[in-house]
Amino acid sequence: MSQVEMVVNGRKVSGTVEDRTLLVHYLREHLGMTGTHVGCDTSQCGACVVHMDGKAVKSCSILAAQASGSDIVTIEGLANGADLHPVQAAFREHHGLQCGFCTPGMIMAATDMIARHPEGLDEKTVRAELEGNICRCTGYHNIVKAILAASKAMGKAAKGKTKKAA
Amino acid sequence: MVETAARELGVSPAELRRKNFIREFPYQTPVIMAYDAGDYETSLEAAMKEADYAGFEKRREKAKKQGKLRGIGMSCYIEACGIAPSAAVGSLGAGVGLWESAEVRVNAVGTIEVLTGSHSHGQGHETTFSQIVADRFGVPIDSVSIVHGDTDKVQMGMGTYGSRSGAVGMSAVVKALDKVEAKAKKIAAHLMEADEGDIVIENGELKVAGTDKSVPWFQLALAAYTAHNLPDGMEPGLKEGAFYDPTNFTFPAGCYICEVEVDPDTGETEIVQFVAADDFGNIINPMIVEGQVHGGIAQGIGQALLEGAHYDPASGQLLTASYMDYTMPRADDLPSFKVSTSNTPCPGNPLGIKGCGEAGAIGSPPAVINAITNAIGNNDLAMPATAQKVWSALKAATKH
Ligand code: FES
Ligand code: FES
């Protein structure tokens, strides 16, 4: 058994888990946070993507014990109260989800992608970087559209902020 | 087959299709289906225009200079959806009837709950079903809730498949709405001492046409339940159910055009353009319809290029049992799609809907394969057309 403690969406959590417990199972089964999905647990589908210390990771490919001591953000921690995160808002606006199974992973991967490309994104880059996230419903068309729109909106918001600061 | 025939006859694939389009309806096919309405030429024209079909040879030349084999392929499909008239499927041996059920419950405060036997797992029933209710009574869409997939609440239902939720499930809702509307008008006429035939429903109110008399929807709903002043002999309440058994299948049709570039050294296929022009009859929500088409196209392209189930011949063991071995299309296997619709209303159901759930997956595989075989000059290519298969087919074609 392993003793784990971490911060999940700003809340300190701790517990004792079997050594083999995956981070995604710790989140879903121990903490009851079922927003993060499991589509394969062999690291292909991306439904389980969360942020660990600010980086997108597949939580089915990391042990809870490995994540001990880190700062985790899941889909549940993205919105600010009733205000959706800009990426969530863009998915909603552009009909970027149908069944919703891939959506938590898509959104967590997308926020990470946008953060890594402050210069902005083009369609080719978005498609290439979505390699690790599978969707069966949308044909990716509206997901790509939503990510591009969110990247634009967030780029504008960031510029606005730096102007204000200056 | 049509594409191969066109190639062997040396006529344009578009022309051969155009020549053979059915133009008179209803058209009884030799099998059970009787096509009720369609306009296949409009889809063909729309797709060819969007794809710049005429400019293809130029693009082929350009690709050739860059060492790529460019090909174009089309497919004109028709499918039987809105399944299905119970008697027809019974004659084909089905053990069930394929009607759908609905119940519309207007609560005493005017909010409306719709129970449907069509389950929604991403098709957006919560949106589209609410839309038709909100439109009918002029109430805010948020005051409508859709209940599905709960067998404690929904008595009977046949489910979501065969592009039937709109054509069959919504038609059941419409039938129940008709009954609710008729009763609501009776109550309104009684309350306002008017003739039932003069009552119109507009902007969330029941009005006496040509006067300034009106009752708000929520007040009417309350009156139905307080039952202090109902027409003689009328039961209290405002809740109606209906079953809808379609009179015919529906027949969505369309034209898909795919353009590919094949790398002759590796057999790798890139889809450079994909156009879909569908005739779905009347459409309740274009965004949802487009989403359904996008997903279908991706699935069809997956089938054409990537997805294959392999068994070990010795043991019968499935070898492609996880995403590690079974290739689902990824975002970078696909382009953005150009989709459009035309709208020949379906005469068979009250909303004129044909259905759109499967179209994308039906029209796309032949279009993709026709494009690849056009590029490599060999019609003999099995799905999934993996790089290895395409490369081998190309080698076989260049040998002769
Ligand atoms: S569940 Fe983690 S990648 Fe599929
Ligand atoms: S929305 Fe269903 S898998 Fe992506």
pLDDT at position B373: 97
* B331/A40 touch (CB, cutoff 8 Å), yes or no: no
> Which residue, B301, B181, B192, is CA-closest to B242?
B181
Q: Band of the pLDDT at B155, cuts 50, 70, 90?
A: confident
Which candidate in B330, B356, B368 is best for mutational testing of the A interface (most A CBs within 10 A)? B330
**How far is the C-alpha of A36 from the C-alpha of A73, rounded, in Å?**
10
Q: What is the mean pLDDT of residues B124-143?
A: 96
pLDDT at position B209: 96
- The answer on B205 and B74 residing in a single domain is no
pLDDT at position A159: 81
pLDDT at position B154: 86
Q: Band of the pLDDT at A163, cuts 50, 70, 90?
A: low
Q: How far does residue A20's CA lie from ligand 1's centre (Å)?
A: 16
Q: What is the mean pLDDT of residues A26-41?
A: 97
* A137/B360 touch (CB, cutoff 8 Å), yes or no: no
CB of A131 closer than 6 A to ligand 1?
no
A166 vs B69, higher pLDDT = B69
- The answer on B314 and B340 residing in a single domain is yes
- The answer on B132 and B118 residing in a single domain is yes
pLDDT at position B400: 60
Q: Which of A45, A48, A133, A135 to mutate to test the pocket of ligand 2 (most atoms within 8 A of CB)?
A: A135
pLDDT at position A166: 55
Q: Band of the pLDDT at B163, cuts 50, 70, 90?
A: confident
Q: How far does residue A88's CA lie from ligand 1's centre (Å)?
A: 20
- The answer on B163 and B104 residing in a single domain is yes
Ligand nearest to the Cα of A101, by number: 2
Residues 6 or more apart whose Cβ sits within 8 Å of residue B370: B3, B13, B71, B72, B73, B74, B75, B258
Q: What letter represents residue B153's amino acid?
A: K
What's the mean pLDDT when you consider all of chain A? 96
Q: How many domains does chain B have?
A: 2
pLDDT in tens, A49-92: 999 999 999 999 999 999 999 999 999 999 999 999 999 999 99
Which structure tokens are listed for A137? 């419903």
Which structural domain range is residue B208 located in? 86-244
- The answer on B320 and B280 residing in a single domain is yes
Among residues B192, B220, B244, the one where a domain terminates is B244
* B332/A142 touch (CB, cutoff 8 Å), yes or no: no
Domain of B368, CATH number, reads: 3.30.365.10
pLDDT over 70 percentage in chain B: 100
Q: What is the mean pLDDT of residues B367-387?
A: 97
- The answer on B343 and B195 residing in a single domain is no
Q: Band of the pLDDT at A165, cuts 50, 70, 90?
A: low
* B121/A99 touch (CB, cutoff 8 Å), yes or no: yes
- The answer on B221 and B207 residing in a single domain is yes
Among residues B198, B227, B244, the one where a domain terminates is B244
- The answer on B227 and B322 residing in a single domain is no
Atom index in ligand 1 nearest the CA of residue A37 equals 1
Q: Band of the pLDDT at B156, cuts 50, 70, 90?
A: confident
- Whether residue B306 is predicted with pLDDT greater than 80 in this model: the reply is yes
CB of A139 closer than 6 A to ligand 2?
no
Q: What distance in Å separates residue A41's CA from the closest CA in chain B?
A: 10
**How far is the C-alpha of B240 from the C-alpha of B174, rounded, in Å?**
11
- Whether residue B130 is predicted with pLDDT greater than 70 in this model: the reply is yes
pLDDT in tens, B239-263: 999 999 999 999 999 999 999 999 9
- pTM to 2 decimal places: 0.95
**How far is the C-alpha of B233 from the C-alpha of B280, rounded, in Å?**
44
Q: What is the mean pLDDT of residues B152-163?
A: 88
pLDDT in tens, B321-366: 999 999 999 999 999 999 999 999 999 999 999 999 999 999 999 9
- The answer on B73 and B126 residing in a single domain is no
- The answer on B236 and B90 residing in a single domain is yes
Which candidate in A38, A129, A140, A145 is best for mutational testing of the B interface (most B CBs within 10 A)? A140
CB of A28 closer than 6 A to ligand 1?
no
- The answer on B183 and B304 residing in a single domain is no
Backbone phi, psi, residue B185, to 5°: -70, -40
pLDDT at position B81: 93
Q: How far does residue A54's CA lie from ligand 1's centre (Å)?
A: 19
- The answer on B114 and B227 residing in a single domain is yes
The torsion defined by the Cα of B176, B179, B181 and B182, in degrees rounded to 10, comes to 170
- Whether residue B183 is predicted with pLDDT greater than 70 in this model: the reply is yes
Ligand nearest to the Cα of A137, by number: 2
**HEC string for chain A:** CEEEEEEECCEEEEEEECCCCEHHHHHHHHCCCCCCCCCCCCCCCCCCEEEECCEEEECCCCEHHHHCCCEEECHHHCCECCECCHHHHHHHHCCCCCCCCCHHHHHHHHHHHHHHCCCCCCHHHHHHHCCCCCCCCCCCHHHHHHHHHHHHHHHHHHHHHHHHHC
Atom index in ligand 1 nearest the CA of residue A46 equals 3
**How far is the C-alpha of B388 from the C-alpha of B400, rounded, in Å?**
19
CB of A135 closer than 6 A to ligand 1?
no
Q: What is the mean pLDDT of residues B154-175?
A: 91
Among residues B219, B244, B269, the one where a domain terminates is B244
Q: What is the mean pLDDT of residues B266-276?
A: 98
* B294/A123 touch (CB, cutoff 8 Å), yes or no: no
